[in-house]
Amino acid sequence: MSTESETLLMNRTIALVDDDRNILASVSLALEAEGFKVRTYKDGAEALDGLTRQPVDLAILDIKMPRLDGMELLNRLRQKSKMPVIFLTSKDDEIDEMLGLRMGADDYIRKPFSQRLLIERVRAVLRRHDLAKVTDGAVEPKDAIHRGELILDLSRYLCTWRGQKVDLTVTEFLLLQALAQRPGHVKNRDQLIDAAYGEQIYVDDRTIDSHVKRLRKKFKDIDTDFGEIETLYGIGYRYREA
């Protein structure tokens, strides 16, 4: 990323909403160390009031909170704002993750999480949001992967299948990109973890399986015959060769 792009991202304000004071303190320090301005809220009701009066560039919301949980907070925010949102979820929140993404969340990260991973996701979501605002989605992307009916716009983290937009999180997009770059070549789970999360970040193998399951479902919601992502049991996954 260029120095100019880094500067633009560093001048952004992030809202962090969580009832865990330790997370508020540690994540705030990490974001501020990267040049972001941070506003913290200890529950959803407080955040709704603050963000309605003074919007931010991106919000990081915990799902499980007292008074007003992250799901309802997102629902209220979406009535007035399109600010990008990243969910923080627990391991048993898969149903909430799906509902949150359908309601308009941009990505989610499971607790416990790497602060470095969260910061990279914040940057990626902000870049995607910026580029989507200034570029018409119908314009042919210059930096893209074409695989038959699949187009991956690498600069904006946007995906289309048969001309229809597929709403993917940043994590899902990076996984699909890793597979689609070399159709027919198998990627094991460790390779996919590195592609989606970066090296030296521990993620359970089952997390990759869950992401792939959701990826397939999103494509099948558009095209019931979609079968491009193939499983090689005990080995990994590959994108079907044309």
Q: What is the pTM of this model?
A: 0.69
Highest mean pLDDT pick, 77-86, 153-162, 178-187: 178-187
| Share of residues in the chain with pLDDT > 70 (%) | 82
Cα 21 from Cα 241, distance rounded (Å)? 49
E strands present in the chain: 13-17, 37-41, 58-62, 85-89, 107-110, 144-147, 150-153, 158-161, 164-166, 187-188, 229-232, 236-239
- For 200, the token pair is 């030296």
Q: Which of 133, 159, 181 is the last residue of a domain?
A: 133
| Statement to judge: residues 144 and 127 lie in one domain | no
Cα 127 from Cα 213, distance rounded (Å)? 26
Please give the mean pLDDT across all residues of the chain: 84
Which of 104-113, 123-132, 136-145, 214-223 has the weakest average pLDDT? Answer: 136-145
- For 28, the token pair is 């705030």
User: How many domains in the chain?
Assistant: 2
For residue 1, pLDDT over 50 is answered with no
Q: What is the pLDDT of residues 13-70, one digit of tens each?
A: 999 999 999 999 999 999 999 999 999 999 999 999 999 999 999 999 998 888 888 8
Cα 142 from Cα 33, distance rounded (Å)? 33
Residue 4 is predicted with a pLDDT of 46
CATH number reported for the structural domain that contains residue 108 in this entry: 3.40.50.2300
For residue 135, pLDDT over 60 is answered with no
Q: State mean pLDDT over 173-202.
A: 85
Question: In sequence order, what are the residues at sequence separation of 6 or more whose Cβ sits closer than 8 angstroms to the Cβ of residue 46?
Answer: 67
| Statement to judge: residues 106 and 180 lie in one domain | no
| R_g of the chain computed on alpha carbons | 18
> Which residues on adjacent β-strands are paired with residue 230?
238
Q: What is the pLDDT of residues 91-111, one digit of tens each?
A: 555 555 566 666 677 888 888
Whether cis (ω within 30° of 0) applies to the bond prior to 141 is no
For residue 157, pLDDT over 60 is answered with yes
Residue 170: pLDDT band (50, 70, 90) is: confident
| Statement to judge: residues 206 and 108 lie in one domain | no
CATH number reported for the structural domain that contains residue 180 in this entry: 1.10.10.10
Q: State mean pLDDT over 207-211.
A: 83
Q: Which of 103, 133, 163 is the last residue of a domain?
A: 133
- For 112, the token pair is 């416990």
Domain span at residue 170 reads 136-239
Q: Which of 84, 105, 133 is the last residue of a domain?
A: 133
Residue 134 is predicted with a pLDDT of 56
Cα 149 from Cα 163, distance rounded (Å)? 8
Q: Are 65 and 89 in contact (CB under 8 A)?
A: no
If one compares 127 and 8, the residue with the highest pLDDT of the two is 127
| Statement to judge: residues 72 and 181 lie in one domain | no
